[in-house]
Structure 1
Amino acid sequence: MKDIVITSIGTVSSLGIGFDDYTRRYKNKELIKFENIDIDMYCGDMAIRRNDRFTKFALAAFRDMMNNSSYLDIDPDERGIIENTIFGPLNTVNDFMHTAMDGGLSETSPMLFSNTVINAGLGKISIEYKLKGVSYMLCGTNPLFYAISDLESMHSKVLFAGGVDDAKSKLVFVDDEERVFHESAAFIGLERRVDAVARGASIIAHINGIGTTNFINYFDDRNISQKKIYDSMKKAIDDADIKTEEIGRIYLFSVEESTETEAVRALFNGCSNNMIFSRNNYDAFLSAGEFFTLFDAIIDMDSDEHTAPALVNIKAFNCIISLVINL
């Protein structure tokens, strides 16, 4: 059984900036809006405002997470970060290249150029918060598995895992005009339970098991086999050292009739588990999607005082990840 805990959360979405805002509006059943977020409205701090839009998303979510923790008491060498993105700073690259092509390089901003590098935002977070441990920028790869693996290896004391995408509609190149990508950012702080307890940290949720299965990059969930989804969920339950009937709720990044629900019914055959369809659009949150599905489960469990473990099953961009969590 895993012994990893979540000790802080930070978010940016169309429901506002901050996990408290997200929790309140989620409980009120407010819907995530298909619209570009006015990130500048929330960034009164000049340390955030002077950055490009993509970096603002990351800094705002990360700051929200850090404001509700005492992570800075941990040795900087033992604080690491693993961040994921799919689109990266495409809007920044677009702005820089159009300026260069229209007016020449002399008209471009040197400050803007430095932000066209995909890990520029990650570097600014590391500098501002003195993170000297593990530092990875992933592209389309779920960071949770890597973060948990690092903690289990005893390499780090705390790992910050997150996903960020600044996905303004002009940069979404898809054939279907109905398909709109949400932009968002999310970070969580992960620690070994023994370390969190020793420093008196507030524990939001326990991760007891994890299962992952990789596949070729797809935006269309219909191309993912039922067996891969089944195997991922089964691995997580086995890793948590529990039985399928002990799972109280199942949170799916899915619609009701899908390959995913077929896999759930096969795994939980004969069990009366409650399936929660957390999302109805697989590309809704892109890099942060796995985190928001996890947050929904945590909020519901906390609100309903649901004591049985929950299974959170997520389709990220190039893998399936399943988590068994409890409070």
Structure 2
Amino acid sequence: MKRIVITGMGAVTPVGIGVDEYWKNITAGESGIDTIKTFDPSELAVQIAGEVKNFNPSDYLAKDLIRKTDPFMQFAYIAAEEAIKQSGIEIEPERTGIIMGTAMSGVATTAFTQEALTGASHKKVGPRFIPKILGNIAAANIAIDYNIQGPSFTVSTACSSGGDAVNTAVMCMQSGKADVMLAVGAESVLCPLVIYSLANAKALSRRNDDPKTSSRPFDVTRDGFVIGEGGGALVLETEEHAKARGAKIYGELMGCGNTCDAHHVTAPHPEGRGAIACMKLALADAQLKPEDIGYINAHGTATHKGDAVETNSIKTLFEGKLPFVSSTKGATGHMMGAGGITEIITCLKAIETGTIPPTINLNEVDPECEGIDFVPNTAKTAEIDYAMSNAFGFGGQNSSIIVGRYK
């Protein structure tokens, strides 16, 4: 088995654009959640979200690219650009690939286009509509500009899409199909159509009067998740390839797990069957024991069932020595496909800096979630060598990714 290393990272998030800004604010306990600004939410039951702040696409992208892309594609492109620049890599077209992870692709563009069409006297839809909503076009735009001609897949496994994009990238490299893979996750689903559905399913927090404290993972007062948006990217290389070009290595991709609960379309298995199996697979792939993991970036969305099941799953598997656990979704909201990547970046930065990011808005741990140090509200200092990122999604999709200090 080849050793896989990380040589580049990129992030576009509600708490900052760029990995450095993201990390500074996430460890400081800043919240990126506020009243929705991109459209008027006043008639909706849920009016809050984690939007990317101060985002002007023309600061980052050419005009033609802006016109033909959905916001989730723009976030993906910008995150990928940062990761590629940080890696310093010179693309070898046929030995470099790209995997895109997104849960809902261009759903907001679809919804707003249909709304405009319904109220229009002249029924006209632009020629760019279809390319703007297809998930794989995000990867295609990046591949075109960087001449990436190797394996290209788009993974859509609900909220585990980002983690599964990394897993798929690793499989491509282990099979010898590429020396370098760009793993990207991105999401922008904010529109009344999505909000109505999730609100009616009682999945979303309704704390419109206090947006910054609305996302409360593991807290006894939590009342649902907050929609977030953004993008994340990682440049993955075989160790041999990275060392040959003298690349700076930010960490090692140790192991990946993927399972399905085979239980329910939206609810997790009550005993965490799939989550436990997934974490076990990642540990086995990494050739590590549970006690080796120093930190887990939890899926932790602030839903009642989800947080309780994940807590019990972690306690069951890590019974001998519980690691630090935190959910950065208290700050960013649930970024869906993007979160799977940015939360892996969180794990890499925790290892690099010795800082465990906090779970903000956690003032009283739910009795169903007791027994774990969730790093409430304030970051902690700890020397760790290995960290795990969990991402669980509708359909019983489970992803666990383990990263480690490069030795």
CA contact (8 A) 2:111 2:191 kept: no
Q: Shift in Å at residue 218 of structure 1? A: 6.3
What does residue 93 of structure 2 align with? Answer: 76
Deviations along 1:124-159, one digit per CA (max 9) or x if unpaired, are 221111111111122224212211111101111111
Quickly say closer, same or farther: Cα 1:293–1:49, change in 2 above 3 A.
Answer: same
Quickly say closer, same or farther: Cα 1:243–1:36, change in 2 above 3 A.
Answer: closer
Q: Distance in 2 between matches of 1:117 and 1:152?
A: 28
Deviations along 1:30-62, one digit per CA (max 9) or x if unpaired, are 123224335752532325433333322222222
Amino acid at match of 1:14: P
What does residue 200 of structure 1 align with? Answer: 246
Q: Shift in Å at residue 219 of structure 1? A: 7.5
Structure 2: 5+ residue stretches without partners = 34-48, 206-224, 355-381
Amino acid at match of 1:58: A
Alignment counterpart, residue 62 of structure 2, candidates 28, 41, 46: 46
What secondary structure does 1:286 align onto? coil
What secondary structure does 1:103 align onto? coil
What does residue 365 of structure 2 align with? Answer: none
Deviations along 1:6-32, one digit per CA (max 9) or x if unpaired, are 111111111122112111212222123
What does residue 143 of structure 1 align with? Answer: 165
Which deviates more, 179-188 or 129-138?
179-188
CA contact (8 A) 1:79 1:131 kept: yes
Amino acid at match of 1:30: E
What does residue 353 of structure 2 align with? Answer: 303
Q: Distance in 2 between matches of 1:233 and 1:2?
A: 21
Which deviates more, 265-274 or 229-238?
265-274
Segments ≥4 residues shifted beyond 6 Å: none
What does residue 82 of structure 2 align with? Answer: 64
Quickly say closer, same or farther: Cα 1:307–1:116, change in 2 above 3 A.
Answer: closer
Q: Distance in 1 between matches of 2:116 and 2:328?
A: 41
Q: Distance in 1 between matches of 2:148 and 2:20?
A: 25
Q: Shift in Å at residue 243 of structure 1? A: 2.4
What does residue 125 of structure 2 align with? Answer: 108
Quickly say closer, same or farther: Cα 1:277–1:122, change in 2 above 3 A.
Answer: closer
Q: Shift in Å at residue 76 of structure 1? A: 0.6
What does residue 16 of structure 1 align with? Answer: 16
Q: Shift in Å at residue 182 of structure 1? A: 0.9
Q: Distance in 2 between matches of 1:97 and 1:220?
A: 26
Which deviates more, 14-23 or 247-256?
247-256
Give TM-score, length-normalised by structure 2. 0.72
What secondary structure does 2:134 align onto? coil
What secondary structure does 1:29 align onto? coil
Structure 1: 5+ residue stretches without partners = none
What secondary structure does 1:68 align onto? helix
Quickly say closer, same or farther: Cα 1:270–1:188, change in 2 above 3 A.
Answer: same
CA contact (8 A) 2:351 2:386 kept: no
Which deviates more, 20-29 or 274-283?
274-283
Task: Count the aligned residue pairs.
Answer: 325
Deviations along 1:254-298, one digit per CA (max 9) or x if unpaired, are 269612221222222232533334445998111122222222222
Matches within 5 A, 1:1-327: 3-33=3-33, 34-37=49-52, 40-44=55-59, 45-47=61-63, 48-52=65-69, 53-71=71-89, 73-101=90-118, 102-105=120-123, 107-140=124-157, 141=161, 142-172=164-194, 173-174=197-198, 175=200, 176=202, 178=205, 179-215=225-261, 220=266, 222-223=268-269, 225-254=271-300, 258-279=308-329, 284-304=334-354, 306-318=383-395, 319-327=397-405
CA contact (8 A) 1:96 1:113 kept: no
What secondary structure does 2:383 align onto? coil
CA contact (8 A) 2:263 2:269 kept: no
Q: Distance in 2 between matches of 1:164 and 1:75?
A: 24
CA contact (8 A) 1:39 1:56 kept: no
CA contact (8 A) 1:11 1:186 kept: yes
Q: Distance in 2 between matches of 1:13 and 1:6?
A: 20
Q: Shift in Å at residue 186 of structure 1? A: 1.1
Give TM-score, length-normalised by structure 1. 0.88
Aligned-CA RMSD value: 2.8
